[in-house]
Structure 1
Amino acid sequence: MLGRLVPVLRQATRGVMAVRQAPLAARTLSQARPSFDRLRLLDMIEQEIQDEQTNGVAAEIPAVYGDFQISHVAGTPQVKLTANKDGDKVTVLLNINECPMEEASEGDEDSESVPAPHFSVEIENGKSLTMVMDCSIESSGDLVITRAGFHNKGVSAADRYDKVYMNEVDFLSDELYTSMIEYLDEKGIDGDMYSFIEGLVADKEYSEYLKWLNDAKSFLSR
């Protein structure tokens, strides 16, 4: 990692008058900065690429999982899974930019930081409204619904924050919350899907990291 080093050397003085009477050169702060070395940065990027090629495992994102079709574009953070369940269209939307890295547990030196899955589920049943639920997967592997709302057709995920009221499910009864989890389970968002999404997020994150390294190499090369 590159840090910003700004060494500042201050000359100690014993009094204000001493500072005022000191020559200007003696009172000038030294602000010498190391010159940027593009080739050194490029070399570090290339070393990282080589290390990943030697020790990393290529991430493969499948096109299908069960009844779900998977679509994504390299160089973008989004992944979409779609399926038809009992006449309803079910869409899982995830964005790895919204999946923060979870630190490894204390005392577990072999564990690495992994992205924590955050995603939304949209369910369309042919009516004018679409139900949407924001979800996450805890480190225990359990699904958590954080918010739920409804929107008209034509409202994109990008517009949802400004146009859709999302109810915080913390205010719901335990029975109602459990029923919502069961509803998602019926639509294919079950325990197996939780595990798959965890792996999918990690693979997408790693795939985009490798592309980022190669983009950095291309950008710095002349």
Structure 2
Amino acid sequence: MLNRTLARTATTLARAAVRPAARLPARVAVVPSLRTFTTSFARFEPTALSTKLGEELQFERDNADNATEPDFLAAFKAEGVWQVVDEEGSDEIILTRTFGNENIRLIFSISDLDAEQDLPEAFQDEEAADAGSGGLGDEAAAATETSFPVETSITITKPSGGALTIDAIAQDGLFTINNIAFYPDADVALGMTSEDDWKRQGLYMGPAFDNLDEGVQSEFETYLEERGVNSALALFIPDLAEWKEQKEYVKWLEGTKTFLEQ
């Protein structure tokens, strides 16, 4: 019986060896059906936006001085010292004057007035207490309100050539000087193009003003005060910047609202 079983097993193995392998079912490539995605957006209705802009515009008009030129600006111009260049639509204001054989240009922008630039309280207290370290103006201690800082660039040129550019911040009746650069070529200092900016970037801009000897700092402050870069001007500039920003914002509201309604 054992022999019969062994023989049957051997026969089964032999048949399995010659039997073709069972066929696996062929894989069918299924191409997914293309689905059409239709997204419907609500139609934009400009009336709602135009209405909101109109409400904002009315608010600004109701809370603004409707005079074409505010009294503080008219009084500043009446002094006849500085000329104000304010082009409609520009974010910059330029003040110019002459002093002896020198031409002085002060320029500042209103583009960052919306950003908060609060100085540390300790720094403000120090500046109010002592205007002798890069700060011009004795009226700072009398300022009761903290105004926002306005970055200014003051350029002084002479017919003989060359230019000084002073970067300073006007705030609370103070000009806080950051640095003073000398340019052998006045055209590079005064240039307003991107090429001029590129040329200036490669030049030595002078040391940080605070790193200068205190005596040198004091003399530079006197030099600028003599040319009208003083407390009165440092108090005037933030007011002028705020008025300019308000004026351009109202014009932006008017233009945008009109565009949407056309």
Q: Flag whether TM exceeds 0.5 (same fold).
A: yes
Partner of 1:182: 222
Q: Deviations over 1:13-67 (max 9, x none)?
A: xxxxxxxxxxxxxxxxxx9987644211111000011111222223625482541
Q: Secondary structure at the match of 2:187?
A: coil
Structure 2: how far apart are the matches of 1:92 and 1:218? 35
Indicate yes or no: 2:188 matched with 1:162.
no
Higher deviation after alignment, 169-178 or 129-138: 169-178
The equivalent of 1:56 in structure 2 is 64
2-structure distance, mates of 1:213, 1:73: 18
Does 2:154 align with 1:153? no
Q: Deviations along 1:69-112, whole A, 9 cap, x unmatched?
A: 1111111112111111122111111121255544789xxxxxx9
Q: Tell me the residue number matched to 1:45.
A: 53
* TM-score, length basis structure 1: 0.72
- Structure 1 match to 2:241: 201
Residues 192, 74 of structure 1: CA spacing in aligned structure 2 closer, same or farther, 3 A cutoff? same
Distance 2:147 2:217 in 1: 27
Residues 133 and 147 in structure 1, CA contact (< 8 A), matched pair in contact too: yes
**Aligned with residue 123 of structure 1, among 138, 141, 156:** 156
For 2:41 and 2:108, the matched residues in 1 are separated by 42
Instruction: Name stretches of at least 5 consecutive residues in structure 1 with no aligned partner.
Output: 1-30, 106-111
Determine the C-alpha separation between the residues in 2 that align with 1:144 and 1:157: 24
What fraction of aligned residue pairs are identical, expressed as a percent?
Answer: 23
Number of aligned positions between the proteins: 185
Distance in 1 of aligned mates of 2:173 and 2:40: 51
Secondary structure of the residue aligned to 2:164 is strand
Name the counterpart of 1:90. 104
Distance verdict in 2 for CA 1:113–1:185, change over 3 Å = closer
Larger relative helix fraction = 2
2: CA distance between counterparts of 1:104 and 1:133?
A: 22
TM-score normalised to the size of structure 2? 0.62
Q: In the aligned structure 1, how far is the partner of 2:118 from the partner of 2:109?
A: 22
Q: Distance in 2 between matches of 1:103 and 1:32?
A: 44
Q: Mark the CA change 1:98 to 1:104 in structure 2 (over 3 Å): closer, same or farther.
A: closer
In structure 2, the gaps of 5 or more residues are: 1-38, 120-144
1:177-197: CA deviation from partner (whole Å, max 9, x where unpaired): 222221110111111111111
Give yes or no for contact 1:115–1:201 (8 Å, CA) kept in 2. no
Question: Is the aligned partner of 1:72 residue 2:80?
Answer: no
Could you tell me how far apart the structure 1 residues matched to 2:118 and 2:64 are?
19
Counterpart Cα distance in 1 of 2:51 and 2:164: 50
How far does residue 145 in structure 1 lie from its aligned partner after superposition?
1.0
Choose between structure 1 and 2: higher strand proportion.
1
- 1:99–1:118 contact (8 Å) kept in structure 2: no
User: Considering only aligned residues, what root-mean-square deviation do their CA atoms show, in Å?
Assistant: 2.9
Contact 2:50–2:260 (CA under 8 A) maintained in structure 1: yes
